[in-house]
Amino acid sequence: MSVGIRHDDLRRRNRAMVISAVRRAGQPSRTEIAATTGLSHSTISAISSDLIQEGILTESKASETVSLKRGRPQVGLSLNPEAAAVLAVVLSLNFLSVAVIDYAGQVVAEEQRRLDTLTMSRDELIDECVAIVRRRLEDPDLDVRSVARIALAIQGITDSHARAMLWSPITPQTNIAFADILEREFGIPAIMENDCNMMAVALRWRDPDRYRDDFIAILLSHGIGMGLVLKGELFTGTHSSGGEFGHMIHRPGGALCRCGRRGCVEAYAGNYAIWRNARQLSENAEPVADVSDAEMRALAARARQTDGPEREAYRRAGEALGFGLGSLFALIDPAPVAMVGASAAAFDLIEPALREAIAQTAGGQYSGSISFDTEPNELPLIREGCAMRALSFVDQEIFAPGAQGKSSTVRKHVA
């Protein structure tokens, strides 16, 4: 059962709320914060004065343009970029990238590397991640003491405690506790997140009007992934990152999937599946390890040109996605969908069959109202989500801590 509210929780929670209001609004005045949080002006005044003194917020002569109004002008509050920094590490197929982000959310440094993740050993994989983080931390421009959090996103399944990668299509290795490893190595709290979940987090920040409380982000790539936000909360499984939309069953006993099972949505809609069908190979043909973006673009071009096996392959992908979404909508009610990843550029080929399939399912009654948006470039999205995730942690756990963490390293250096 949930625990009672202690007296000191009050301040902590309201501090967190003020910080979060500032992060959302950018440069709100105290009055605006009072309005959005529902707290009184006096309380906001007290809390924000604390936060400014601690170096977490700064005053900035806000909205000079809007000072057409009479009366004392509003003073904008903004996040102090120097209050902390976080690292966002993204590990995907044959690619590793890291970005340093200041407390206000600006990227201050980054580095990218090509790897051969499929053939690397466990230790090589770990070493590369540790090394790229170390290089960033050794950057003389960066105050290492200010780095408060490392967030690592990976394609694949992570555990629900955000500690480890359990399984990933980018490597044959399994169960690597990246978060624990980085934490031990650098003494900085780390979390391990699923890439699609981070896409969803980023979409929420990018377009809060469209992606508010309930929406779905689907990654159309070599595999099929999903990030799901329900009732304003990232939806995760109880043991793992969950939301393995790509491995819902489309046709029992059907096409061979990369996961070794049969009939998964991915076995019809993943790049390898589209490629396999376009070449008219058997459904039992072993999934290929990778199909280049260029090759997929060529497939899509041919599909647009002539009504051949390529077009049929995309049609089947749409059908699988449609029935999958239909089953999903039976469980959670329809919501806006973002199609992310290289194959989202071919969504025109996928959409007709997808809509036709949804119309045959329980979600069909709403099928007109279901809207799709496409975003071909997943990497920036994942990195952005990762950064926001890490920053939210700093907001809540470090700058609005429970009694035990009152004197953290980070706070000291700012004061």
Write the binding mask 158 to 177 for its own copies: x where contact by CB under 8 A, - elsewhere. Answer: --x-----------------
Binding of DNA at residue 63 (CB under 7 A)?
A: no
Q: Select from 108, 230, 379, 414 the one that contacts its own copies (CB under 8 A).
A: 230
Q: Is 114 exposed, middle or buried (0-12, 13-18, 19+ CB in 10 A)?
A: exposed
> What is the identity of the amino acid at 260?
G
Q: Does 4 bind its own copies (CB under 8 A)?
A: yes
Q: Distance between CA atoms of 398 and 401, rounded to whole angstroms?
A: 5
Q: According to CB under 7 A, which one of 24, 26, 41, 139 is a site residue for DNA?
A: 41
| Per CB under 7 A, 400 contacts DNA | no
Q: Please tell me whether residue 240 binds its own copies under the rule CB under 8 A.
A: yes
3-state secondary structure 306-372: CCCHHHHHHHHHHHHHHHHHHHHHHHHCCCCEEEECHHHHHHHHHHHHHHHHHHCCHHHHHHHHCCE
Burial of 290 (0-12, 13-18, 19+ CB in 10 A): middle
Say whether residue 73 binds DNA (CB under 7 A). Answer: yes
Q: Using the structure block, give the residue that is written with the tokens 């990238």.
A: 97
Q: Does 328 bind its own copies (CB under 8 A)?
A: yes
Contact 18, 29 (CB under 8 A): no
- Is-contact 83 107, C-beta < 8 A? no
For position 407 contacting DNA by CB under 7 A, the verdict is no
Give the footprint of its own copies on residues 203-222 (CB under 8 A). 213-214
The correct pick among 326, 343, 349, 390 for binding its own copies (CB under 8 A) is 326
Residue (62 or 328) nearer to DNA, CB? 62
What is the total count of residues that contact DNA (CB under 7 A)? 31
- The 3-class SS string of 23-60 reads HHHCCCEHHHHHHHHCCCHHHHHHHHHHHHHCCCEEEE
Residues near its own copies (CB under 8 A), total: 60
- Could you say whether residue 7 binds DNA (CB under 7 A)? yes
Nearest to 344 by CA among 239, 274, 286: 274
Considering only 20, 27, 36, 45, the residue that binds DNA (CB under 7 A) is 45
The interface region with DNA, picked from 28-36, 121-129, 141-149, 391-399 by CB under 7 A, is 28-36
Residue 122 found at the interface with DNA (CB under 7 A): no
Q: Point out which span in 65-73, 327-335, 387-395, 407-415 binds its own copies (CB under 8 A).
A: 327-335
Which DSSP letter does residue 75 get?
P
Find the part of the chain contacting DNA (CB under 7 A) among 62-70, 227-235, 328-336, 339-347. 62-70
Regarding 144 and contact with its own copies (CB under 8 A), the answer is no
Q: How far apart are CA 293 and CA 309, in angstroms?
A: 19
Sign of CA dihedral 144, 395, 200, 1: positive
Nearest to 168 by CA among 189, 193, 203: 193
Q: How far is the CB of 30 from DNA (least distance, A)?
A: 4
Q: Is 78 in the site for DNA (CB under 7 A)?
A: no
Any contact of residue 315 with its own copies (CB under 8 A)? no
56 binds DNA (CB under 7 A): no
Contact positions toward DNA, by CB under 7 A?
4-8, 10-11, 14, 29-31, 38-43, 45-49, 67-75
